A and B are shown apart, each in its own frame.
Chain A
Amino acid sequence: MESSKVIHAFYNDDEVVLDAVKTVKADGHHIEEVFCPFPVHGLDKAMGLAPTRLAITAFFYGITGLSFAIWMTNYMMIQDWPQDIGGKPNFSWFTNMPAFVPIMFELTVFFAAHLMVITFYMRSRIWPFKEAENPDPRTTDDHFLMEIPVNNNEAEITALLAKTGAVEINVVDKH
C-alpha cells in the first residue's frame, strides 16, 4: 500500500476557514478533517456532516430511567414489603404514585444525562490516557487546520488552498 499523503492548510480566522471549506467543497474535494480551537458555527453544515443523533439516544435513555424507577418503586414499596409508613397508601403503585415522582424524575434525568455523555465519549473516542490526535499543537490555540487527502492532484489542491487565504500549506505523509 502506498503511503497516503495529506495536505495540511492552516488558517488563523474562523470566517476564513469557513469560506475555505465552502470553496474546497464546491470544487469537489473531500475534506478529511478540520481542527479548530473552538466551535465554529455553521462548520458542520458547510462540511455537509450528518446531524447528530445524540439527542435521540438521550430520549431513549430517559425512558429507560423512567421505566427503571417505576419498576424499582413498585417492587420495593408495593410488592416486596408493603409496610404502612405514616399512613401512605400502598395498596397499588398508583395510590402512592405522587410520592414516587421525585425519584422517577431524578432517575430519568440521571439515565438520560449520564448514558448520553458515555455515548458521546464512546462515539468520539475520548477516554483517559488516550493519545492526542491533533496534528499540530497550534490548532488548540489560535490556528485552524484543514486536512485534505491527496490523490495525485497535489499541485491543483495547493493552488486552490493558496487562494482561500491559507497562512501555511504543508504536504505530509499520513501514517
Chain B
Amino acid sequence: MYQFSGKLKMFSIALIIIGALGIAYGFISAPTTVEEAKEIIAHQSSHGDDHGASHDEVKNDEHHSDAVKDSHANDHDAAHDEHVFHQLQNKPWAALYVALFFFLGITLLVLAFYAIQRVAQAGWSIVLFRVMEAITANLVPTSIVMLVIIVTAVMHMNHLFPWMAEGTFTPGHENYDAIVAGKSWWMNVPGWAIRSVIYLAIWNAYRFFIRRNSIKEDTANDGGKTYKLNYNVSVGFIFLFMISESMMSWDWIMGLDPHWFSTLFAWYVLASLLVSAVTVIAFVTIYLRSKGALPGVNDSHIHDLAKFMFGFSVFWTYLWFSQFMLIWYADIPEETTYFVARFNEYKVPFLAMVAMNFIFPVLVLLNSDFKSIPWLVVIGGVVILAGHYVDVFVMIIPATVGAQWSFGLAELGSLLFFLGIFIYATFSAFAKANPITKGNPFLEESEHFHYYNIEHRGEGSGDHH
C-alpha cells in the first residue's frame, strides 16, 4: 500500500493556503465603486501599461474625435466607466473560475477516459486504473466549489454571466437584450442552475459508484459479475457524459458570450480537457512509479500515455483550427466578434497557445523513443498543461473582464489553490486502496504489456521475446 507522505501533505496544504491568500487578495483589491475603478485605470495608464494604452486607443476610436457632441461623449464616458468597473469586479471571480474549470474539467475527463478504458476492455491500462480513480477523487472538492460558484451567480454576487443581469429579458428595461431574450427558453437562471446541478450529480454519482465497485472487484470472486456490472454502468456513463459535457460547455463557457454560438464548441472543450487529463494521468503515474508505488507499470505504459498526449494534442489543434478557420473564412459579424475580441487584446496568449499545444508537443513527442523517457514526457506535459490553461483562460477571460486582463496574484493563487486540492485529494485517495485492481480479468495482460518498438530501461523484460 502507498503511504501519503507527510511531506507531500504539508506541501499540498501549503499550496491551498498560499492559493487562498492569492484569491483573497484578488477580491480585496477589486474595486467596490466606479470611482475606485477609475482610479485603478488611471494608475495603470500613468505607468504606461499596455492595456491602459490600448484602452485609450479604443476610446478615441469610439469617440470619432470632434464629430461627437460633448454631452454625448460624457454619457458615453459614464457608460464606459461602468463597463470597466464591472470588468474589474469580475476579475477575481473570473480568475477563480478559470482555475476551477480547468481542474474540474481535467478531473472529469480522467473519469471519462477511465470509463472508456473499461468499456473498450483495454488490455494495457488496467495497472493505471487506481491512478485514474485516485485522480477522480478531486471531482468532489471541485464540484463543491462549482456549486458555490453556481449559488453566487444565482444570487447575483458576481457578473460572470452577462445574461443574468437584471432586465435582460424585460422589454423596455435599459439592460434589455432582444437577442439574448430570444434564447431565454434555454438561458434562464433556474434552468441553468438546475442543469448545472444535474451535471455535477451525474458525474459524482458515477465516480462514487465506480470507485466503490472497483474496490469491491478486487475481492469479489463472483465469476466476473461485479466486473460486468461496472462495464454496463460505464457504458451508461459515457452516454450521459457526452450529453452532459456538451451542455456543460454551452452553459458554463459559451454562456459567457451569450451573443456568440459555435456548433463544435463542446467538442473543442472536450479535446482541450481530454489531452490535459491524459497528461495529468501520465504525471501522477510517473511520480508514483518513481516512488515505487506502481509495480506493474513499465515504460510501455508511459509510451502509450505519451501517444495519447500526442494524438489528442493534434486532435485539439484540429478542432481549434476548424472552429477558427470556418469563422475567419466566412467572416459573418455575429460569429467573428468572438475572435476579434481575442485577437485584439489577447494576441500573445491566443497565438502562444497554438505553439504550446501543437507545435511543441508534436516536435517533442513525435519520436517513438522519446515517448518512453519520463523526463521528456514531463517536459512535453508541462507545456501541454500550461497551454491548455491558457486555452481555458482565453475562453473565459475575454468574455468576463475584456481588456482589463492580467495574470497576477489572483490568477496564480487560484491555480495553486486548486493544485493543492488536487494533490491532497489524489494522493490521499490513492493511499486508501490497493494500487493494483486485482479482480480485473485483463490485469495479467496489462502487467505484461509491451510495445514492440521500444527498449525498456532498468526493468526486467525477460517475459517478452
Chain A interface residues toward B at CB < 8 A: 18, 41-42, 45-46, 55, 59, 87, 98-99, 101
Evaluate contact between A99 and B329: CB separation under 8 angstroms. yes
**Alpha-carbon separation in the docked complex, A46 to B452 (Å):** 12
The yes or no answer to B464 lying at the interface (CB within 8 A) is: yes
Evaluate contact between A101 and B325: CB separation under 8 angstroms. yes
The yes or no answer to B366 lying at the interface (CB within 8 A) is: yes
Residues of chain B contacted by A41 (CB below 8 angstroms): 452, 465
What total count of A-B pairs have CB within 8 Å? 20
Instruction: With A18-B465, A59-B366, A101-B321 as known contacts, state yes or no: A42 contacts B328, CB within 8 Å.
Output: no
The yes or no answer to B209 lying at the interface (CB within 8 A) is: no
In this complex, how many residues of chain B approach chain A with their Cβ under 8 Å: the count is 11
Query: Which residue on B lies nearest to A45, using beta carbons?
Result: B465
Query: Which residue on B lies nearest to A44, using beta carbons?
Result: B452
Evaluate contact between B366 and A42: CB separation under 8 angstroms. no
Evaluate contact between A87 and B331: CB separation under 8 angstroms. yes
Kindly identify, within residues 422 to 465 of chain B, every residue whose CB is under 8 Å from any CB belonging to chain A: 452, 464-465
Residues of chain A contacted by B366 (CB below 8 angstroms): 59
**Alpha-carbon separation in the docked complex, A59 to B464 (Å):** 30
The yes or no answer to B324 lying at the interface (CB within 8 A) is: yes
Query: Which residue on A lies nearest to B465, using beta carbons?
Result: A42
Residues of chain B contacted by A59 (CB below 8 angstroms): 366
A98 interface neighbour in B328, B368, B452, B465, Cβ under 8 Å: B328
Evaluate contact between B331 and A98: CB separation under 8 angstroms. no
A-B contact pairs, 20 of them (CB 8 A): A18-B465, A41-B452, A41-B465, A42-B452, A42-B464, A42-B465, A45-B465, A46-B465, A55-B368, A59-B366, A87-B331, A98-B321, A98-B324, A98-B325, A98-B328, A98-B329, A99-B325, A99-B329, A101-B321, A101-B325
Distance in Å from the Cβ of B361 to the closest Cβ of chain A? 15
Residues of chain B contacted by A45 (CB below 8 angstroms): 465
Residues of chain B contacted by A18 (CB below 8 angstroms): 465
Query: Which residue on B lies nearest to A102, using beta carbons?
Result: B325
Distance in Å from the Cβ of A100 to the closest Cβ of chain B? 10
